Amino acid sequence: MVRAMLARDPHPDSAAVAAPDAWGWAAWRTDVLETLRLAWPMALTQLGQVAMMTTDLVLLGYLGDRVVAAAALANTVLFGAFTIGLGFVSAVAPLASQAFGARDPRMVRRALRIGLWAVAVLGVPLSLLQMWGEDILLALGQAPEAAAIAGRYLTSLGWSLMPAWAFMVVRNFMGAVNRPEPALWITLAAIPANAGLAWVLMFGGFGLPALDVLGAGLATTLVNLGMCAAALVVCNTQRPFRKYHVLGRFWRPDWQLAGKLAAVGAPITGAFLLEFGAFSAAALFMGLISTVALAAHQIALQVAAIVFMVPFGISLAATVRVGHAVGRRDMPAVRRAGFAACGLGLVFMGVMTVVVALTRHVIPLAFLGGDAASAPETRALAAVLLALATSFFLADGLQTIAGGALRGLNDTRVPLVFAGIAFWPIGMLAGYLLAFDAGVGAPGIWIGLSLGLIVQAILLVGRFQVLTRRGRLPEVLHAT
């Protein structure tokens, strides 16, 4: 099967470049439908993963708003490490997609294999680092009680890094070969498993002791291990994945592709870190303001994260669709894939802007559990922050989708520079000045975040427009 695929025309759709309808309505309609077909399971997979995080946050809410605030600090430490590896595992998607578009199945497998190697190399030290979470937070000036709770949470949650990354690598491979659905089914099965296991381990049951926050982190780690194992079983036993022999010659070094993965992935990690760093700094600033501000920030941020997962899923589809077109050497298809994805994201985020604005006073109740009646200040401030969040939903969706399209072109260095400009000299500086110097408080920080996201969206969309107008496609590696 592999040899038959290699023997076929590596650019079967090259004639599409010169087709008279390449820019017509029929071509755009096809691209929108194909992007939607690929994006919906990816977006639902992202929502499913956030649903597990949200379930943990809701359950932690029954332990009190001080635990919710501590969980925000713990997630700040964890996701700092998670983001370091995120760029490298994300780079698997454009490399595998370009190889698939070029009809090079051996390179598809190599992209998956080098992604799993990156997980192994980065995962061990970064997982161990989580064991010092309390010390890290104390060094950052956080309250000792909150740091102690967060540190206890991280001693079990920190081990979820490697299986979570590995699942992402396999999921990116599935998407690259146009079969993202199994990752969705695995994620949907994991949601109730995570909820049930977290409840039992947190509050006790079936003869097990109540482990509070330690149990929540342990449940997340065990479920992530199960998801990773299930994805690998599917890839080794089910069509069309098994023909790639995903773990074949896993021990074999692949220095050429490792260099390519680093060249594409390291700037992605840098951009993610700059964006994540801005939101993490926002959480730290909230901690300096008050516990109420930190808890309200975590609630509003979780809602924004839920909404964000759909355009993030669309951005994954944009990376794949653009990568396929790059592999076929079809520039008109590259432009259509990128802008069709942007259009889908704008429609969705426009709807969510209205929904969240209308329900901003009700949403915080789901996160405060038994403390809803006794925490009116947290609820009121969360509603204010949610209202501010709606001001950047459109920009947030657009910037992540445009970034995904640029990754399909292996263009990651310039977006890194853009992220450095948008999120820090503009976003964080404005937020800090408004919050502390102008006395606006917590809302000022979210105004700064909004400004940063708007600038980033403008820069990334403009970059994609410029690159695709030039008509230059990146080099695609081929298996030898």
Q: Are the C-beta atoms of 91 and 317 separated by less than 8 Å?
A: no
Amino acid of residue 337: A
Element of type H or E holding 257: helix 255-289
- Binned at pLDDT 50, 70 and 90, residue 351 comes out as very high
Q: List Cβ neighbours of 316 (8 Å cut-off, separation of 6 or more).
A: 39, 42, 46, 93, 172, 175, 404
Three-state DSSP at 375 gives coil
- Binned at pLDDT 50, 70 and 90, residue 229 comes out as very high
What's the mean per-residue pLDDT of the chain? 84
**Does the pLDDT at position 16 exceed 70?**
no
**Number of residues that this document lists for the chain:** 480
Distance of CA 21 to the CA centre of its chain: 35
Q: What is the mean pLDDT of residues 103-118?
A: 86
Q: Are the C-beta atoms of 378 and 292 separated by less than 8 Å?
A: yes
Three-state DSSP at 207 gives coil
Burial of 465 (0-12, 13-18, 19+ CB in 10 A): middle
pLDDT at 24: 65
Domain extent listing, the chain: 26-470
CB atoms within 10 A of CB 358: 10
pLDDT at 347: 93
Token digits for 126? 């970064």
Higher pLDDT, 382 or 2: 382
**Does the pLDDT at position 5 exceed 70?**
no
- Binned at pLDDT 50, 70 and 90, residue 203 comes out as confident
**Does the pLDDT at position 400 exceed 80?**
yes
**Does the pLDDT at position 12 exceed 50?**
no
Out of 60-64, 231-235, 308-312, 415-419, the most confident range is: 415-419
pLDDT in tens, 236-245: 888 888 887 7
Higher pLDDT, 53 or 111: 111
- Binned at pLDDT 50, 70 and 90, residue 283 comes out as confident
C-alpha span between 328 and 333 (Å, rounded): 9
C-alpha span between 94 and 262 (Å, rounded): 13
Instruction: Please report how many Cα atoms fall inside a 13 Å half-sphere around the Cα of residue 320, on the Cβ side.
Output: 26
With CA atoms as reference, report the closest residue to 134 among 203, 213, 21.
213
Higher pLDDT, 430 or 63: 430
Long-range contacts of 243-250 (CB under 8 A, 24+ apart): 243/1, 243/2, 243/105, 244/105, 244/108, 244/109, 244/112, 244/173, 244/177, 245/109, 246/109, 246/112, 246/113, 246/170, 246/173, 247/113, 248/109, 249/113, 250/113, 250/116
Q: Could you check whether the bond before residue 240 is cis, i.e. omega within 30 degrees of 0?
A: yes
Q: At what angle do helices 181-203 and 25-61 cross, to 10 degrees?
A: 10
Q: At what angle do helices 25-61 and 212-237 cross, to 10 degrees?
A: 150
C-alpha span between 300 and 385 (Å, rounded): 6
Q: What is the mean pLDDT of residues 51-80?
A: 81
pLDDT at 14: 36
Alpha helix (H) ranges present in 290-375?
A: 291-328, 331-359, 365-368
**Does the pLDDT at position 18 exceed 60?**
no
Q: What is the mean pLDDT of residues 331-344?
A: 91
Three-state DSSP at 208 gives strand
C-alpha span between 316 and 326 (Å, rounded): 15
With CA atoms as reference, report the closest residue to 456 among 387, 406, 408, 410.
406
With CA atoms as reference, report the closest residue to 279 among 144, 415, 424.
424
**Does the pLDDT at position 433 exceed 90?**
yes
Give the position of tokens 């808890």. 295
